Homo-oligomer: A and B are copies of this chain.
Amino acid sequence: MHDAMRLPALREIIGALIFGANRPITARELRQCLQEVASEDSEVAVFAEASIKDIEREIRALHDELQLRETGFGIYEVSGGWRLQSNVSCGRWLKNLLKVKPQRLSQPALETMAIIAYRQPISKAEIETIRGVGVSHVIKQLMEVQLVKIVGRSELPGRPFLYGTTSRFLEHFGLKSLQDLEQIGPRVFTRKMQADTGETDQTEDDASSDNQDDVVEETDKSVVSDNEKGQVDESA
A84 to B107 Cα, complex, angstroms: 23
> What 0/1 readout, one digit per residue, does chain A (62-80) give for beta carbons within 8 Å of chain B?
1001100111110000001
Q: How many identical subunits does the complex contain?
A: 2
Task: Give the residues from 218 to 233 in chain A that come closer than 8 angstroms, CB to CB, to chain B.
Answer: 221, 224-225, 228, 232
Chain B, residue nearest A1 (CB): B88
Min CB distance A68 to B, Å, is: 9
A133 adjacent to chain B (CB < 8 Å):
yes
How many residues of A are counted as interface, with CB atoms below 8 angstroms from the partner's CB atoms?
Answer: 102
- Does A132 lie within 8 Å of B146, measured CB to CB? no
- Does B3 lie within 8 Å of A36, measured CB to CB? no
Given A73-B16, A167-B196, A178-B197: A3 touches B89 (CB 8 Å cut-off) = yes
A90 adjacent to chain B (CB < 8 Å):
yes
A42 adjacent to chain B (CB < 8 Å):
no
- Does B107 lie within 8 Å of A146, measured CB to CB? yes
Chain B residues, Cβ within 8 Å of A168: 107
Chain B residues, Cβ within 8 Å of A9: 70
Task: Give the residues from 23 to 61 in chain A that come closer than 8 angstroms, CB to CB, to chain B.
Answer: 23, 25-26, 28-29, 32-34, 36-37, 40-41, 44
Given A167-B196, A167-B202: A71 touches B80 (CB 8 Å cut-off) = no
Given A20-B86, A26-B199, A32-B203: A150 touches B111 (CB 8 Å cut-off) = yes
Min CB distance A134 to B, Å, is: 8
